[in-house]
Amino acid sequence: MDKNLIFAKTPIGDEAVRQSTRVVQRNLRMVLVQVDGKMSVEELAAKIGDQRLVETALRELEEGGYIAPTLEAVSVWQESKQRARKLKSLGLPVGSALPESPFSALETRTAGSAGSNFSSFGKPVFPAGTQQTQAPPPPHEPVAPGRRLSVISGAAISLVTVLLLALLAVLLFPFSRFKPAIEAELTRVWQAPVSVADVRLTLLPQPVLHISNVRISGGSGDSAIDEVRVLSPHSLLGSGVHVLDEVEVSGARLPLDQLLGLPLFAERAGKAPSLIVRRLRVEGMSLSVGTMTLSDIKGHIGFRGDGLLENAAFQTVDRSLRIEAQPTVHGLLLKIDGLGWRPSDESPLTFDSIQAKGLLQKGKLVVHNFDATALGGVVRGNWLVDWSNGLAMAGDATLERLDCRRVTSTFVSSLWLEGYLNGALRLRGAGRDWQSMWAGVEAILNADVMRGVLNGVDLGEAARRGAGSIVRAGSTKFDRLSVLISVSPQQVVGRDLVMNAGLFNATGQFVATRERQVDSTLMISMQTAASVLRLPVRVSGTLPNLQAVSGR
């Protein structure tokens, strides 16, 4: 075959491209589609990548009357039109064969002498066992612009009508009929009776299913959720497992134990859930432990494909405390970060910063390796709180360079002590609630105060005045003060007290009651140029008013 020969589609070939049933052999149809009256045989072979396939297909397509060389393409189109007109004049279908006539052989010979293998339109290429019985219809007549616009307008009106009907159906649908099913699913999740006040749908700015005033009853206390918003509510349609990409919860007030008792916080899945939430966003949530409540929490909870907890992150609304949670075999592993965090509105203590790790279990929280800056210094240690049976707590910490003025003003406002406090603290307590637990706390503090001032009494002046003298008010400066302090619900006892102030030293002990009554017995020694003066001094009174009485 001449590689420079250029083929064009005939009317049959052009129709065969539009009707896939005319040429079903894949290689023939592939070549027929590429024939455009511009590319040569060589260019077609290069484009398709198989010269032998292209030449074979071109021959079969030419024999079937689907293509013709470009020099003959015009006459082929004219011949096709004449053939169609002749069939119509005889009342025959366009695709049928003409009846035999004395001129048939002449027509065949004339067509065959045109210098091409194309000789007839009556031999299209079909799959084996199939015979063509109908020629392609004549080209479609162009549609008038006015008629086209009317068709488009009618289609647009139909579409708008369907959308309006769908919108009305959604708005008027009684979604409240889903309340029993929603309450049943929430009851399964919470494992406690759940009631829902209202269910409604909004469409703008996006479709949202609103579930309002949810009430959960349980043994650890009643819980309430102001609103649950289900995004992409169409995911609830149909049967099988429903997967929701995101659900928003606002105004939840939950006891922590009830939340931790949910199946989704378990380590392993039991029965496959019928509803899976990928991501849960919360805002305005409050978690309570006994009488203590952590309020205004927002964050998100992520779930695995089996519906169990994957991770969670929360923070207070003022971002003073951030908590990340990860499920483990033993409970929720917590990572805690805080800046300017105050445990509660009633708490006198504010943490300038805090970093800690903890393990949260039902009824218990263990905080370990915490590092906090507070009261002008650094506090490091561990803390355990258990609320499974009342409230109980225990902890130990090391104190570094705490400001004694801030410490005393926070915990013992009537005592005015200056200096930098270092030491080790151990404490424990129990009670019915947080207030009674802290009121009954017991602690041991091994304190060491550097470069300080004890305001309220002047021990040096009492020693200088001698036996029988009484000194009221004043202050005592010292380089170092060390004392072992024991705190109980009834009193504070200081033992092994040692105060160094250059040439002045004091040793002894003291007792202070909850009513701020102080009684202390000290032995004061003062270095003079000739000797060392030793004198017992008794300090007593009601804080902050103290007096020192020298003995003999």
Distance CA 482, CA 422 (A): 10
Comparing 142-146, 150-154, 159-163, the range with the smallest average pLDDT is 142-146
DSSP state string for 252-304: EEEEHHHHHTSGGGSSS--SPPSEEESEEEEEEEEEEETTEEEEEEEEEEEE-
Q: pLDDT (tens digit, 9 = 90+) per residue, 272-284? A: 666 777 888 999 8
Q: Which of helix, strand or coil describes residue 528?
A: coil
What is the rounded average pLDDT of the residues 477-500?
A: 92
pLDDT surpasses 90 at 57: no
The string over 134-160, giving b where at least 16 C-beta atoms fall within 10 Å of a residue's C-beta and e elsewhere, is ebbeeeeeeeeeeeeeeeeeeeeeeee
| Long-range contact pairs involving 80-84 (C-beta distance under 8 Å, separation at least 24) | 80/10, 80/11, 80/12, 80/121, 83/121, 84/135, 84/138
Q: Which helix (H) or strand (E) holds 145?
A: helix 145-172
CB 196 within 8 A of CB 212: yes
Q: Which two tokens stand for residue 245?
A: 């990409």
Distances (CA, A) of 324 to 135, 315, 382: 75, 9, 19
pLDDT surpasses 70 at 118: no
Distance CA 139, CA 122 (A): 19
What is the rounded average pLDDT of the residues 216-240?
A: 74
Distance CA 93, CA 81 (A): 14
Question: Which one-letter amino acid corresponds to residue 10?
Answer: T
What is the rounded average pLDDT of the residues 495-522?
A: 91
Q: pLDDT (tens digit, 9 = 90+) per residue, 67-93? A: 888 765 555 555 655 655 655 565 554
DSSP state string for 25-67: -HHHHHHHHH--SSSBHHHHHHHHT-HHHHHHHHHHHHHTTSE
Find which of 63-77, 166-180, 320-334 is predicted with most confidence, using mean pLDDT.
Answer: 320-334
Question: Of 122 and 273, which is predicted with more confidence?
Answer: 273
In the chain the first and final C-alpha atoms are separated, in Å, by 138
Residue 100's pLDDT is 43
Residue 127's pLDDT is 44
DSSP state string for 399-448: EEEEEHHHHHHHH-TT--EEEEEEEEEEEEEEESSHHHHHHT-EEEEEEE
Question: Of 354 and 97, which is predicted with more confidence?
Answer: 354
Taking alpha carbons only, the member of 259, 320, 329, 333 closest to residue 289 is: 259
Q: Binning pLDDT at 50, 70 and 90, where does residue 256 land?
A: confident
Distance CA 282, CA 253 (A): 11
Q: Which two tokens stand for residue 131?
A: 């015979």
Q: Binning pLDDT at 50, 70 and 90, where does residue 97 land?
A: very low
Q: Supply angle C-alpha 449, 455, 456, rounded to 5.
A: 135
Question: Of 16 and 122, which is predicted with more confidence?
Answer: 16
As a whole-number percent, the residues of the chain with pLDDT over 70 amount to: 74
CB 379 within 8 A of CB 399: yes
State the average pLDDT for the chain: 78
Strand partners, 40: 6
